[in-house]
Each structure stands twice: as structure tokens, then as C-alpha cells.
Chain A
Amino acid sequence: MQKQLRKYFAFFALPTLLAFAISFVVPFVLGIYLSFTTFTTVTNASWVGLGNYSRVFSDPDFLRALWFTVKFTIVSVITINVLAFLFALLLTRGIRGTNVFRTIFFMPNLIGGIVLGYIWQLILNGILFNFDATLTVKPVYGFWGLVILMNWQMIGYMMVIYIAGLQNVPKDLIEAASIDGASRLQTLLNVTMPLVMPSITICLFLTLSNSFKLFDQNLALTAGAPSKRTTMLALDIYNTFYGKSGWEGVGQAKAVIFFIIVALIVLVQLLITRRREVES
């Protein structure tokens, strides 16, 4: 059997490998190559070396978008995870209708980002209308609009992951803790939390990378208005690539830098949270 598996390994792995190469490896390598060139379409590039990268860092739009993205990510990662964890705690209590609530909270996650963006634009503009304002009046409105939107969309998903984690916490450990005289808060912090650390790792990873890479919702909700002050990194890259002729290579360079930033942040986060995971 082993021998045969080895024999046919290439045959069975090939389709997936091909798909992976075509849809990921090739575009990725091509993308990195293009960031060192100037081009109008991807087929007529000419080499310019590091020129694009120096233009990225002299572009105030990029730095502003980076700062806005960092602020947004910090706020939304905290709010999403705290709220999702609270909901998860609430819905593992065995209240009546738990399953119905779980389903309802999870549902927003099934709607696409663009649609959500427009729906929330209508809702938020409808509310702000009473104060003679719209989302574009101040960047603050756009910022909190995005935070609310992301929370609404992601909490359900994270909650499901936390619920799975909480359900795996052995009852006897909780019992032992209460016999030892631990308060509810102490039990939560010192028994439950360390045991659901794997869930926290995965939830942090998902929220962190999704918030940082946010594009659809940003495009649909504010499109950067007013004056690009609510533009996040992904949208800025898109605008650079398509909105400024002659800047395609710079857009590509921004994308490569963006990739490195996201990869670094996520790796560091994984390292830190992994270390805190314990065996139950």
C-alpha cells in the first residue's frame, strides 16, 4: 500500500499542485517582479529597480492609510474579540433558544462585504440624517462606521469558534476550581482562559489579518471620503494602481510591502499566543 501510494503520489497531487501554481505561485512571483518595473499592462513591463519603493515612502497617502489601518485594526480586534467572547460565554450557559441565537449571530458572516458596506451606509446615513450629516462629513464617522460594520460581521464567526473552545473545557476542572474556593472571575481568568487559548489564537489571527486586509467594506461604506482620510491600505493600493496613470508599479510595490507587513504581524501574533497555549 505504502509503495503504491508513493507510486501514484505525483499523479494525484498534480491537479491540486497545478491549481495552486496557476492561481497562487505564478501571480505572486509575477507581482513581486512587477513591483520593480514600470508598466501599463502586465505584459509590457520595463525594469526600474527600487525606484517604486522609494516613491512609496514619499507618498503621504500611503503613510496616512497605514496609520488609519493600524488604528482601525487595534480597535476592531479588541472590540470583536471581547464581544465575541462575551456572547460565547452567554450562549454556553444553556439559556433557552441558544441554538437560535447562535445561528442568528453567525448569519451576518454569510453576507458579502460589498453588500454589507452599502447596507450599513444606508443605515448609518439614515441615522446621521437626523443630525444633518452623512458618513463623509468627518473621518471619525467613517472610522466608527467601519468598526461597527466589522463587529457586526465578524462577531458571530468568532463567537462560534469561542463556543467550540469553551465546550471543550473539562467540567471537572471548573468544579475543582470552585471547590478550591475560586470566584467566578478567578475561574474564568485562571482556568477557562488558558484552556481556550487555542481558540484565542485562531480568533486573533482571523480578526487581525481580516481587519488589516479590509477592502470591500471600506470601498462600499466610505470609499475613502472625505479626502482619502478613511482610506485603508488595500483601498489605497487599488487607487494607486488604477487611479494614477504611471503609478502602476508603485501600487505593486505598495502591495508587496503590504504583504510583508501583514505576514510579520500575523507571525508575531501566532508566536506570542502559541506560547501561552496549555495542554488540558
Chain B
Amino acid sequence: MIDEKRLVTRMLRKQITILLSFILTVMLVLVGCAQANSDKKDETQGGGDTAGGATEIYFLNFKPEIAEVYNEIAKDYEAETGVKVKVVTAASGTYETTLRSEIAKANAPTIFQINGPIGYQTWKDYTRDLKDTELYRSLSDPGLAVTDGEGVFGIPYVVEGYGIIYNNEIMERYFALDNRAVQDISSMDEVNNFAKLKAVVEDMTAHLDELGIKGVFASTSLAAGEQWRWQTHLANMPMYYEFLEDNPEQSTVLTALAADEIDFRHSDHFKNIFDLYLNNSITRSTLLGSKSVADSMAEFALGQVAMVQNGNWAWSQINEVEGNVVKAEDIRFLPIYIGVEGEENQGLAIGTENYFAINKKVSEEKQQASIKFLEWLFSSDKGKDYVVNKLGFIAPFNTFNEDEQPTDPLAREIVNWLDKDVHSVEWTFAAFPSEEFKNQFGNALLEYAQGNFDWEQVTSTVKEAWASEKAK
């Protein structure tokens, strides 16, 4: 009897020990969490008074190349106003994915980005009407904003441009050659249509060794996820002209949004320039499926090629390549000529696909605080300094005066081209039906480059993709 009793007590004691240690562990964990939480609370409570309630806003950033700068801005802003800005950056090419999961969370982004009218269609349940904000009123051209009826739902915050970036040092070397075939053109300023561009480029290919380069154009990057320079930017050229012809009276974006089908009637012009890229490239066409944008920019930065198609955002990429030999003053822009009549008056493709939107599903205080943050960024001296010098944005707001423009060579080139007596090409691709359309376009281009498709198949793929993506 006694033995049994002892056994029972011993067992009990053992169980109690286990239970106690379990409870202790749980408590430790809980205390740990609570500590972390209260830390956060202390931080935010300090600033709560100044911000009129909202203490933390959440900005989901689209541009990974300037993520660091946003963190600095957030720190500065918190020091100045006490409002904590949480900045999260989506990795390149994953913005939609990230936004989709982040916005469903309890602590959702208060500021996010849409890529234009098509993006607005996806996110219209979330975007707040910004018509009555100072931010909208200070837009230098209110027509740039994404609107729907009376409402304003996306505010553009950066104007960008793209074209063919060339290294003027190599071009001067070419124009100094005695034995060049193209004698009637003596500088890049005279190249103002496709025929001249083609003549120069093809003659350069004949003199590669004398020029010390390996190809005229950098690789036409066609790896998965690296095709946007062709299926979006280059594709913009024929589409722009097509929709301009359809209706010269209004923005091509609006015409394109209303189009259920396309003719792709400038398909041959697209082929002109695409063939020129492929045939005078540093890389053989069959190998392009493995090339990325970074590869192309590195080839340019290392002086192995003379030209690369990209936009002004590429400056940081060129600048950061190790062993970069291209001098800032030698970097120039040339419009993308595709052989359309009257293209002598064509400028760079200038527009934006970056629009800020405010999440209307978060609390009113947070929405107000978010708007305040954006207004601070684009109108206060400190904010503007960040925008111009660190972010490198050409900002479309009238709060910026003439000399408050970024100083990197490509941004300066854009400002130069805007001053010339030419018409800029709109970013019609804002109205391309979907990512899927662009991907099918890109896939067709890859197949063409590798010799699996003839051009007829590319054309029909593009037309079908437009129609089917519009139909759903």
C-alpha cells in the first residue's frame, strides 16, 4: 500500500514539474513577444500626438533600385514628424504578387502603386479618390493622373523616358573612320530616321575591330522575365502609331483601351528595328534566351557595345557596373526609329507607369497621414531634395522649379529632348490588355529570334493575344 502511494506521489510530482516547466516556457515566450510589442508601441506613441492619430503608415515600394533611399527618407520623416513610415520593397517583377498578399493582411499597405488604367481596373476596390488633395492639384499636367469619371485614383510621381542609349565616344570613333561606307552622315545628330540608323549601324558592324567593340547593339535579352524592353517598350512604337492613326484627336492610351482588336499594321516596322537589333548584336540570336537586362547593361557599361535600348532609370545600373568605362558625358539618347513616315519629328518615348494610390480600406487617419507623407515628399525642401538628388525622379509636380531636376546624364538628356522641336511618343503600353498579352508577345519574339517562328506567326500571335486577353 505504502509503495503504491509513494509511486503515485512521485508520478504526480513528475507531472507537476513537467507542467510547470511547460507553463514557464510559454510565459517566457509570451513575455518576449509582449516586450517586442511594447517596444513598438513606445516608438509610435511618441509621434502619435503630432500626426493627429495615425502613427504608422505603410508604403509598398515598386522600385528595388532605390529601396535604400526610401529607408533613409522614412527615417528622416519619422524624426521630423514622428510618423513611422514602414517601407517594404517588392523584389523585381513581383510587385503584383506582393501587393496581392500584403493588401489582404490586417496591417495592409496604405500607399501602393498602380501601373496605369489597366492596373486601376484590378485595384479599383482599394484606391481612394484623391481629387481633393494638394498632391493632385500640384500636378503640372492633371491629365497625367489615372481618372475614372469624376474621381482621381492614381497620381503619377515620376516621368520617365526611353530610347536607344548610345555611347558617343564610340560613335565619334566611327565617324572619324576614313573608310566608312556612310559618308553623307557625319554625326549622330543627323541620324533622324530608320534608314539612316540602319545604314550607320550596319556599317559599324562591318568595322567592329577598328571600333574596338564586339557588337553594335547589346544583347536583346529574352530570358523569362527579362523581355519587357521588347514586349512592352519596343512594342509601344508600332502600337502608338496604329492608335494615333485610328484617332489623332485623343490620347492613344484611351483609343487603345477601347480597342477590342488590333491590326498590328506597323508589324513590318517593328520587324525592321527588331531585326536590326538581332543582326547587329553582340550575341547570336539563338543564344538570346539566356540573356538578362543586367547582361545587356553590363555589355554597354564595359564598352563592348555602342548602343542599348533602355530608359533613364538604367543610369544607376550602368554606373554601378564594375569596370565601367563609359563616361557620363558620353551617354546620349536616340529616339527609337522604326521606319514610319514622318518620324524625323519623333522624340523619345516619354510617360510614366508609376502612379501612387492610397488604400481606402485602411483607417481614415492612416489615409490622411499617407497623403501628408506624399505631399511632404514632393513639396517640402527636404523631400524635394531627396526626390531630385537621391531618387533621381523627374517629378511631374509644379512644386519643382526649373533647376530642381535630376542631374544624371540620362535624365538630362530627356530634358534636352523635351526642349527640342519634336513630338514625344506616348506610353501607349499602359493600355496593353494584360501581363499575359505581353508575355505571349515576348514568347513569340523569342521563338522568332531562335528561328522557330517566321514573322507572320509573330504577327498573328500578337493579334490573337490582344483579342483573347481583351475578350475575357
Contacts and interface: CB of A to CB of B under 8 A. Distances in A.
Given A132-B284, A136-B290, A225-B224, A242 B100 contact: yes
A125 interface: yes
B100 A225 contact: no
A164 interface: no
A13 to B, nearest CB: 14
A224 interface: yes
B450 interface: yes
Interface stretch (A41-49, A84-92, A143-151, A180-188): A41-49
Interface residues of A, number: 29
Interface stretch (A95-103, A166-174, A243-251): A243-251
Contacts of A178: none
Contact of A136 (B122, B439, B450): B450
A133 interface: yes
B100 A40 contact: yes
B224 A224 contact: yes
A225 B103 CA distance: 31
Contact of B287 (A129, A222, A244, A246): A129
Contacts of A133: 286-287
Contacts of A27: none
Contact of A225 (B101, B125, B289, B435): B289
How many chain B residues sit at the interface, stated as a range, is: 35 or more
Nearest to B119: A245
A135 B289 contact: yes
Contacts of B450: 136-137, 226
Contacts of B452: 137-138, 226
A228 interface: yes
B444 interface: yes
Contacts of B103: 41
Contacts of A158: none
Nearest to A132: B286
B36 interface: no
A41 B100 contact: yes
A191 to B, nearest CB: 49
A163 B294 CA distance: 46
B446 A244 contact: no
B443 interface: yes
Nearest to A8: B15
B116 to A, nearest CB: 13
Contacts of A243: 434-436, 439
24 contacts: A41-B104, A43-B104, A121-B290, A125-B290, A133-B287, A136-B289, A136-B290, A136-B446, A137-B286, A137-B452, A138-B452, A222-B224, A226-B443, A227-B443, A242-B96, A243-B434, A243-B435, A243-B436, A244-B434, A244-B435, A244-B436, A244-B469, A245-B122, A246-B122
Interface of B: 15, 96-97, 100-101, 103-104, 118, 121-123, 125, 222-225, 284, 286-290, 434-436, 439-440, 443-444, 446-447, 450, 452, 469, 472
Q: Which 5 A-B pairs have the closest CB atoms?
A: A136-B289, A223-B224, A227-B443, A41-B104, A134-B289
